Structure 1
Amino acid sequence: MQYGYFDEKNKEYLITKPNTPAPWANYLGSPEYGAIISGNAGGYSFVKSGANGRHIRYHFNSMDEPGRYIYVRDLEKGDYWSGSWQPVGKDLDQYKSVCHHGTGYTNIVSDYDNIRTESLYYVPLNKTYEVWRLKVRNNGSQARKLVLFGYVEFTNHNNYEQDNVNLQYTLFISRTYYKNNMILQSINENVPEDQCWRFFGAAGAEVTAYDGDRDTFLGDYRSYGNPSSVENGQCANSLNYNTNSCGALQINVELQPGEEKEVVFLLGQYDEEGASEILGQYKDLSVVDKELEELKAYWHSKLNRFQVQTPSDNLNNMINTWNAYQCFITFIWSRAASFQYCGLRNGLGYRDTVQDIQGIIHLDHEMALERLRLMISAQVSIGGGLPLVKFDHNPGHEGTPDDPEYVQETGHPHYRADDALWLFPTVIKYLKESGNWGFTDEVIPYSDHGEDTVYEHLRQALQFSLDRMGVHGMPVGLYADWNDCLRLGAKGESLFVAFQLYMGFNVFMEIAQNKNKPDDVQWAQGLLDELDTNIQKHAWENDQFVRGFTEDNYTVGSWENDEARIWLNPQSWAVLSGAARPDQARLSMDKVYNNLRTEYGTMLCYPPFKEYGMPVARMVLFNASTKENAGIFSQPQGWLILAETMIGNGDRAFEYFLDCSPASMNDKAEIRKLEPYVHGQFVESKDSPYQGRAHVHWLTGTASTVMVSLVEGIMGVQPQFDGLCINPCVPSDWKDFSMVREFRGKKLNIQVENKNGVQKGVSHIILNGKEIQGHLIPAADMEAENTVRVIMG
């Protein structure tokens, strides 16, 4: 069933049936002020931290409530409804709703009983409060007397857990006040003054009544769908004292036929003085339209740096808007706050964030650089990465996983084998995109002590693995090796990390060559050759690579095993790293296609673990075909697509994309459940009774890996030190397609011609009328705006 559609022109997804299988969400705001909102206005807001800066409530794992609710009541008829379908939930035969999720805003347009409401929600650029703009219009032939209610439920404590659990304390430290068209909440806590106040106010209309006490507004044994104050048509002017706080503002309006009125509700963490100043900025309500256009311009200017037009609307919508926007959201929020993550992860995961950076480098390499510097400063002086980089990270003064204080504070007691190795594909991608070669000489501190150039930080990342090699001459797996459920320990070896190290050597040598350091090239080449020999000797099994070796020399991912005989990542990463020989790449990728692919994506491994498990294969705790236990883990789908493009399989790469693309499930949303415009963490696979159901929306590294695979793999746009390589790998039935790409301040309008239907291979390029052999456009030959014809075949 289809619940909505993509509007590529406006870069929106429109939900036309509000009874979606799960809450379909959008993100508003910035790291300073974050907000999550569903198509039915459920969700929550916070300042800086979803764990410690929460100021409105949300009930996780429930019915998508409460949220940012606007109620409408007809005074004469006694009927009432909400600006979003929920929470009142009117009969959808009479109630019509279209939710416009856009880039940084959500606009819910509803029609009921000849009254149209338009509820716009957004966080203004560079502000730390949110705006709800309500337009209400009388489309009938009779005058109407309406009562409008804006409602939000405050937390009684900034800390999410304290607010929900420590009720013997948190219920008794807050109270509300009504002053000058707003509800103010104060919290008696030993925290900075600016964290002790919240406000919910109205501009553009006079508040006629209010409630600051949630239990009074809702009434006894009632729900958000039938609040007592709304049903009565009158707030009680209540204030909270020792119960639960809320902000409910009542505004009475009369509308003649065809008349429309506006009111703006504002919400934030400010005291009376700060709140009054903000309300004063909205005396002229036209500021809302200006702020909305500013927000669109900000996001669209980033997304427009790479746009495509191909025969696939599915791919166009994902590359041009939603996959790109999800990359930014994941980059900003990491795994901090969603409808699954409650915000308790009070920091940035090292490996997550370094990978997330890759997804936005081609769209905003300056934003990427700022985060990349942070993550390099979270590398420990021995070369590994801190598992969790705190929001208040203090380079040069942090503990390490060997430090009991760090472990107590973060809950991360061990190094992971893969963390620092993610720097190699990310740093090289940044260097080639930006041309900022001087970055390699920039001095950045280590997290614990000392400092080095970026170049030496990379060397230390290699050394961390070299200091921890197993009996087969490959890196040990430590606490995790990307797969958090695979604990190979201090002696067991990981093929995933071996391929990462292989890639790391290649990247290091490429940088060393450009820095004219032949001794470093020779050093890395010798180690690479040794690693290559060990991989070929111990890890290749006729037509596949194994996954690793345990401390007692059990081979994980051997075809001789009863469980988990084949794994996806070793096969794709053998290709990505360059370790696979051409025949090995073909054989192993064919085996993946024949043994792991499903119509909903490719499984992480198969068959699932049932007997062999703890303490190594911790995924045995998950149900079969769930998450790491033979589920369709989404992040590796991007690596798989990219690997197929590297060996020239355009048809298969595109097939894999369609398998995993959320847009492919737009007309099967009842199966997928999650939003059809963003990736989730994983999809249940073929041994599940709910095959195809997706979980854990928005904040997943999938956004980055798939984006890279589409941009650099299928579309074939690959920055190099001295220019831009255009080498697409596409389905054989794509005869022509186009791209617009900004590169180092230059704009390229690219038209690709593929009359012979080849999957990969560029004959020549015509740049501004001048023919270029091969597929590299030198940066020196680019003008401010360029016309590029790419001839495949």
Structure 2
Amino acid sequence: DQVCFEGKLDFIKTKLKITLDPEEPVEIRCLEVENQGNREEELEVTTIFEPILSTKAQDIAHPAFNNLFLIFNYENNILEIKRKKRGKNEKEIYLESLYTTDAETIVDNEFEIEKERLKQRGDLSLPIAVEKSLPFSNKLGLQQEPEVALRKTIKIPAGKKVSITQIISVNEDKIQAIENLSKYENLENIKKAFEISKANIEAECRYLEVKSKEIELYQKVLGYMLFDNPIRSRQIKKINISNYSQSELWKYGISGDLKIVLVKIRDINDTDVIEQVLKMYDFFRSKNIKIDLVFLDEEYHSYENYVLEEINSKIEDKHLSYMINQNAGIFILSKNEMPKKDIDLLNFISCFTIDTHKGDLSHIINDLEEEYLASIQNIPDEYIYENSEEEKYKSEYNVLKSTDNKYFNEYGAFSPDGKEYLIKVNKNNRLPTVWSHIIANEKFGSLITENMGGYTWYKNSRLNRISSWQNYAFIDIPSEIIYLEDLKTNKKWSLGLNPMPDENDYNIIYGFGYAKYIHESQGILQELETFVPKDDSIKINILKLTNNTIERKKLKIVYYIKPALGEDEVSSNGYIKISYDDNSNIVLAENLYEPNFKSKIYVTSSEKIKSFTGDKKFFLGKGGLSNPDGLRKVRLNNSSGFGKQNCIAIHIEVELESMSSKEILLNLGASESLIDAKNIAYKYSKISNCRQENENIRKMWKEKLERLQVYTPIESINIILNGWVLYQTITSRLFGRTGFYQSGGAYGFRDQLQDTLCLKYINPQMMKNQIIKHSKHQFIEGDVEHWWHEETSRGIRTRFSDDLLWMVYVLEEYIDCTGDSSILEEETSYLQGNVLQDNEAERYDIYPESNVKETMYYHSIRAIEKSLNFGENGLPKIGTGDWNDGFSEVGNKGKGESVWLGFFLYHIIQRFLPYIRQKGETQRYEKYTKILSDLQISLNNNGWDGRWFRRAYMDDGKILGSIENEECRIDSIAQSWAIISGAGNQDKQIIAMESLENHLVDRENGIIKLLDPPFNEGDLNPGYIKAYLPGVRENGGQYTHSAIWAIIAESILKNGDKTFEFYKMINPIEHSRNKAAANQYKVEPYVIPADVYGAGNLAGRGGWTWYTGSSSWFYKAGIEYILGLKIEKGILSLNPCIPRDWKEYTIKYKYGRTIYNIQVKNPNKKNYGINSFTINGKETKEKCIKLQDDGRIYEIDVEM
């Protein structure tokens, strides 16, 4: 009926009692405080919780996304948290919380909802606001990573007892939630709640015929089911190890999604336990605890089937027959009718196994616990050198000391050449939020942060994570940690800032393909360089240790990994088994319950591994990550971790002479087979091989990224274009398909196609390969998979209306650039699958390859034909979203139309017409020409609102993007694409862009909003975009994609000053020029953000970074539309659109072995166009040059 926690500090005794309202979803937390001293005491009582208001699965999958739908309010001493509904079938959820007391109050209710005001970043200790009694702000606002705190300050007279109670009420109805809460403002009702709860539980137990000792037993079983279950590891040790798949259970009607309690019965004399187990099952059901109860009949084969009959009889006696073979039900299986592998699987996956021949439930549990306790190894602690005095070593290393560094903002700076980003932090001076980096090849990679956080993946960055993806920017606790210990002083610390920092600085260097972490502690300089080889699936960590003291040093090093070996650590916990191969000096890990990836994960070192463990509880103990118990042991316990909470940890030791250095390796890799794992591990166990590969990686990235370099008067433009956006696009979008804030792993049909737009200048073959890849994910009907996982062949078929057209757009871009029209004749196959039903918005499934193959030309035709679906306004139908995924209910009934899609379709068809003519399809050519004419008329008539273009028509005829609207009066992309497509009438183009500037450009915060005002409480219901916080992501923030399209539109209108003003304004480097700017913007200065928030207290704050298609578009806008470099069918020309005050700029372009040095001068202070084009001193009337791979150097002088 309640939970109690008691404590005492000095003369203050506390008792926290927790119970639930017997009928309503209300939790009561009553803290009784007794002053046993002889003087009056004043106490601050603070409660802190993190609001979720969603399913556990939703929060685990993507916490950063899950947080974007919470709204806060405070009224009448009640703190309210509302989760906005995302879909039409969802309901809003309200949490109401009240603090009440019978004590004399000194300071009445205070509240805080901003995590940054409560805690320090990365600090796992007591919140600083509590420790230092910092005042709460009592301010509301939008929150990206919320945490709620409520506080009262009370007086307690000597010898008296008082109570303070927090009530939490949750409901889908706000009024009901408040009413349920309000009745507990009366302290008598709080007391009654505990009494009623007790009475109800007693009545329930009488009804269920359950005694208190039985409940204690059930709760013990429940604890083993839900939390750490050490006895399970003893049970599954006896199972023959193999790879298991959840789908093998389905033929027995068992989903495998719920916890399974397995009951084995082999003798009729053991059936008394059945009644106990059924009673426990019934008790769990009364508490809405869902499990699958599986009886396994192990009786030797006989015709009578006594055991089976007895099981059924007992179930019938408990009136539970209706639960047989139901979800969260009872299943009866016979060992004689099952293959051994299925029996092993059942034993393996069951969270609790009851062997009835061992006695009743109580005896079974006691025996299992005793067996486990007897198995625990007693590993001694290290010798503590009590008399050794810890010397203080102040680090002198400072990565930011050079005055030649660029854009120094007190947190970091770019190196003098702009190719590295340098950061210096310590535990008292942390970054505003995570500044991450990605190192990757096409099948393996690692996301890292300034705290050495992040994670590593193999093949798929979502479905096959090696270490755990942590999506909490504020805390950023690493999943891979290197601990060090001076064995003489017993001083311990972590190589990275989290989770065990010392007082010295932590220096970080991010470069293309690598990162460095430099720290000094105990007189030991530690320099870690981490990178991923060009082809091999291994993360190399070269750790150089330098002993700068006069004493010989002996160090213990522990490399700790929080493994996922699948999608997340929650689903894999207990299923990972690790082992040590002494001959190869590698620790191997394998997830035996991962259906899609059978990878061998391994950890290795250049030093001999002295011990290891897979047992997380053993390693962390009570000290946790910030002071693990395992570090105090003389060795780790060499446990496989199988069946337990998992980790991977290895222990090595290193000796350093005075003033000497040593390099060691700590590597993490993955492979498909054991022999491959051993071979790769051996290859990279040699320092010389790793150093050589490090050089190879740097050369490879230099070659990729420096084929095109620009030198303009604005250094921030040079830095971002000369490597960083290309690196971002290739590593995050094309290789990893991941970022700190979003880890998808899948290919998005429109996403990775657009990502290749920047590659046409440096690697058009990659662009071509991507087009071909995506064409194979088009259905025979012309539509496409919105996204898919290559490794599992699973994808989602939707009613998005723009995806299919992006293939045609990028195809046109490729041919226009290279002149390679032969791609149109390349044949690829289609997918096949059932089309979506009328009431079906999407379907996630495996879609097989069809027997139909066609050329890319006809793939494109099918995409265009599928898009020729016009509504009553003559505009293409939007479906369940066009480019804006959040417009999920604009046209889900089949009538809604998209103005933007009309401009996009116009642009696509217009560019494709020449290929239709070349093909000789006269009838199709005339048809499409007529469609273009009609579409342009509809866009300029029905798409025009008077001062700008509308965004869309909804199913019910309501308009998005109209001056008449309360919300979403104007949307950016309809204006920009009116110009980009050329379909907008010329007079309307100019008016539309003026309106865009007046309504959507926020110079104060340096952003260009997608739409304004944001959706919030208005009458329009366009879809899940409305659930976002106002000003966040698509809902009225800067969606950088659209901001860049606006810049491109300005350049087409030849507004050079404005074009560059906006381009510079959204450059992340400019958002972080100094500490104040960096504190507002918060996110990384060196990569393009997907979004920047646009409203309230979050305005100007960067959103999700790295994983965004904006990086490719930013590059295209800068190179092609501002600096004016055009490559059309292999011919290079210049058509700049720059500020008038630019005197000159330079482009160095490497085409194959040939170098083109392009000098552009602007003596006439022009914005647009060129007067002369000179090649090696000779002016050419054509003002262009055909690109040739002839190994020569061409000096090109252009005058505007």
TM-score for both structures, normalised by structure 2: 0.61
Whether the 8 Å CA contact 1:764–1:774 is kept in 2: the answer is: no
How big is each residue's C-alpha offset from its partner over 1:171-216, in whole Å with a ceiling of 9 and x where there is no partner?
1563444634332224434758x8253221111x233343332222
Question: Could you say if the C-alpha distance between residues 772 and 580 of structure 1 is closer, same or farther in structure 2, counting changes exceeding 3 Å?
Answer: farther
Q: Which moved more, 1:122-131 or 1:534-543?
A: 534-543
* Rounded Cα–Cα distance in structure 2 between residues aligned with 1:594 and 1:560: 17
Structure 1 residues 768 and 5, CA gap change in structure 2 (3 angstroms): same
Distance 1:711 1:173 in 2: 49
* 1:61 alignment partner, one of 472, 475, 480: 472
1:195 counterpart = 2:563: no
Q: 483, 499, 502: which one pairs with 2:906?
A: 502
Contact residue 613 and residue 619 of structure 1 kept, 8 A? no
1:82 corresponding residue in structure 2: 494
Does 581-590 or 126-135 show the bigger shift?
Answer: 581-590
Alignment of 1:93-132 (within 5 A): 95-132=504-541
Match of residue 44 from structure 1 = 455
Report the CA distance between 1:147 and its aligned residue: 2.1
Q: 1:693 aligns with which of 1094, 1101, 1108?
A: 1101
Aligned length: 760
Task: Give the drift of 1:728.
Answer: 1.2
Question: Partner letter of residue 453 of structure 1?
Answer: T
For residues 223-372 of structure 1, the aligned pairs below 5 Å read 223-231=624-632, 234-270=635-671, 273-333=675-735, 336-343=737-744, 347-372=746-771
- Secondary structure of residue in 2 paired with 1:536: helix
CA separation of 1:354/1:282 partners in 2, compared to 1, >3 Å: closer, same or farther? closer
**CA distance, structure 1, for counterparts of residue 771 and residue 647 of structure 2:** 40
- SS where residue 1103 of structure 2 aligns? strand
Matches within 5 A, 1:205-224: 205-220=607-622, 222-224=623-625
Q: Distance in 1 between matches of 2:826 and 2:613?
A: 56
Give the Cα–Cα distance (whole angstroms) in 1 for the partners of residues 582 and 1020 of structure 2.
59
Counterpart position of 2:994:
590
SS at match of 1:16: strand
Q: Please identify the structure whose Cα radius of gyration is greater.
A: 2
Q: CA deviation at 1:379?
A: 2.1
Are 2:813 and 1:429 aligned?
A: yes
Q: Quick one: which of 738, 758, 770 aligns to 2:1146?
A: 738
How big is the shift at 1:642? 1.1
Further displaced range: 379-388 or 476-485? 379-388
Note the residue ranges of structure 2 that are not aligned, 5 or more in a row.
Answer: 1-408, 833-849
Answer yes or no: is the 8 Å Cα contact 1:153–1:246 preserved in 2: yes
Deviations 1:677-723 (A, max 9, x none): 112221111x3212111222211111122111111111111211251
Q: SS where residue 387 of structure 1 aligns? A: strand
How far residue 482 of structure 1 moved from its aligned partner, in angstroms, is 0.7
Amino acid at match of 2:457: F
Secondary structure class of the residue paired with 2:785 = coil
8 Å CA contact retained: 2:1010, 2:1043: no
1:20 aligned partner: 431
CA–CA distance in structure 1, aligned partners of residues 654 and 635 of structure 2: 13
Q: Is the 8 A contact 2:578 2:648 kept in 1?
A: no
Report the CA distance between 1:364 and its aligned residue. 1.2
Counterpart amino acid of residue 706 in structure 1: F
Amino acid of the structure 1 residue aligned with 2:466: H
Secondary structure of the residue aligned to 2:753 is: helix
| Displacement of 1:153 | 2.5
**TM-score when scaled to structure 1?**
0.91
Alpha-carbon deviation of 1:85? 1.8
Shift of 1:427: 1.2
Whether contact under 8 Å (1:329, 1:699) holds in the other structure is no
Aligned to 1:398: none
1:269 aligned counterpart, secondary structure: strand
| Mapped contact 2:936–2:984 kept (Cα < 8 A) | no
Aligned to 1:402: none
**1:464 alignment partner AA:** K
Q: 2:829 aligns with which of 433, 441, 445?
A: 445
Structure 1 position 556 matched with structure 2 position 968? no
1:649-696 Cα offsets, whole Å, 9 max, x none, are 1211111122221111223222222211112221111x3212111222
Name the residue aligned to 2:841: none
Tell me: CA distance 1:173–1:238, structure 2 relative to 1, closer, same or farther (3 Å): closer
Deviations 1:421-458 (A, max 9, x none): 11233112211333322112222222234232222222
Pair 1:420–1:613, CA change in 2 (3 A)? farther
Q: CA deviation at 1:84?
A: 1.7
Does the 8 Å CA contact 1:650/1:732 hold for their aligned counterparts? yes
Decide whether aligned partners of structure 1 residues 445 and 276 sit closer, same or farther in structure 2, where only a CA change above 3 A counts.
closer
Shift of 1:520: 5.2
Task: Give the distance between the partners of 2:1106 and 2:1010, measured in 1 at CA.
Answer: 20
Higher relative contact order (CA 8 A, sep 6+): 1
Secondary structure class of the residue paired with 2:1090:
strand
> 1:21 is matched by which residue type in structure 2?
P
Match of 1:573 in 2: 977
- Is 1:707 aligned to residue 1115 of structure 2? yes
Alignment of 1:136 onto 2:542: no
Task: Provide the aligned C-alpha RMSD in A.
Answer: 2.5
Distance in 2 of aligned mates of 1:638 and 1:55: 35
The aligned amino acid for 1:39 is E
Code of the residue aligned with 1:665 in structure 2: it is H
Q: Secondary structure at the match of 1:446?
A: strand
The secondary structure found in structure 1 opposite 2:865 is: helix
Contact 2:784–2:797, Cα closer than 8 Å, also in 1 = no
Structure 1 pair 508–73 and aligned structure 2 pair: CA distance change class (3 A): same
Say whether residues 1:527 and 2:911 are aligned partners: no
Q: Which of 634, 658, 677 is equivalent to 2:1064? A: 658
C-alpha distance in 2, partners of 1:567/1:206? 62
Shift of 1:790: 1.0
Percentage identity across aligned positions?
A: 27
Q: Does the 8 Å CA contact 2:575/2:591 hold for their aligned counterparts?
A: no
Measure, in 2, the Cα distance between the counterparts of 1:780 and 1:100. Answer: 38
What is the aligned partner in structure 1 of residue 557 from structure 2?
A: 148
Q: Residue in 2 aligned with 1:404?
A: none
For 2:1056, give the aligned amino acid. G
The match for 1:33 among 423, 444, 460 is 444
Tell me which of 381, 387, 402 is aligned to 2:786: 387
CA contact (8 A) 1:27 1:37 kept: yes
Pair 1:603 & 2:1009 matched = yes
Would you say the 8 A contact 1:766–1:789 is kept in 2?
yes
Q: Does 1:481 align with 2:882?
A: yes
CA contact (8 A) 2:760 2:814 kept: yes
Alignment check: 8 A CA contact 2:1133 2:1183 kept: yes
Secondary structure of residue in 2 paired with 1:22: coil
CA distance in structure 2 between the partners assigned to 1:190 and 1:237 by the alignment: 23
Distance 1:187 1:67, change over 3 A: closer
- Given that 1:182 and 1:249 are in contact with CA atoms closer than 8 Å, whether structure 2 keeps it comes out as no
Shift of the 515–748 alpha-carbon distance from structure 1 to 2, 3 Å rule, reads: farther
Q: CA deviation at 1:737?
A: 0.8
